[in-house]
Each structure stands twice: as C-alpha cells, then as structure tokens.
Structure 1
Amino acid sequence: MLAVERQKYFRAVKRLFARLDQDSDGGITAEEFEVALQDAALINVFDALEISVADAWNLFRTLDSAP
C-alpha cells in the first residue's frame, strides 16, 4: 500500500472511530457500536473501507477482549 493510500485509510478509520464514540469519552462500548450499526451513513463508511458488518463485529469483539 502506498504511503498516500495508507494515510487516507488511516484518516478514514480515525473518523470512523470518532463517529462510533458517541459520548466522546475515548472508548466505544458494545451499546454504542450496536447503535452505530443502525446508521446507514456509518454502514456506508464500513462499505467504503471494505468491512462487512459481520467483520466489524468480529473486529470489535477481538479488540474488546485484548488485554
């Protein structure tokens, strides 16, 4: 991946996480994540990043269980 593409992807993921953190406390709860997955605009962001909703949930669970 080229540096420019990597930076673009990083910015998109950063915006995604900012949108997921609905109360802006620096964390994303399962409840915030579930509510966010009802937002069509957010689903479009996942689609643009080529992440399915199922993959997004798997990623959330994996990150949530990390020590």
Structure 2
Amino acid sequence: EFQLAGMNRRLNPEIDTVFLTPSEQFLFISSSLIREISALGGDVKEFVHPVVSDALKARLGTKKKLN
C-alpha cells in the first residue's frame, strides 16, 4: 500500500491516497511470512491450522537435518 500511495502521489500530487487496515480477524498474512517465522523457530499456531503448523515443523526439521 505504501508503494501504491507513493506512485499515486507522483502521478498526481493533488490526490491523496487513503488506505485502511483491517482488524486482526480479517488480516491477511502471506505464506512467505509464515514460512519465515516457522523457519526461524517461531510458533505459527495462531495463524494457521494445526495440520499446517505440524507440516511446517516436519518439513523444516527435515531440511535442517539435510543441511
């Protein structure tokens, strides 16, 4: 949103861009961010289904063993 606001300002400085953030209930969290949190040892249980959390732990545990 910040990049979009900056581009809009360059295209037409007289128009302000306004964006609103949703409540946590409707917040979108990217899968890349979830994977990164999990890879760094963080707990992602509050963001994803327990099956997904377990699968991430299993997958990342396997990768660590291979490295």
Q: Tell me the TM-score normalised to structure 1 length.
A: 0.36
Which one has more relative contact order, counting CA pairs under 8 Å at least 6 apart? 1
Report which of the two structures shows the higher radius of gyration computed on alpha carbons.
2
TM-score, normalised by the number of residues in structure 2: 0.36
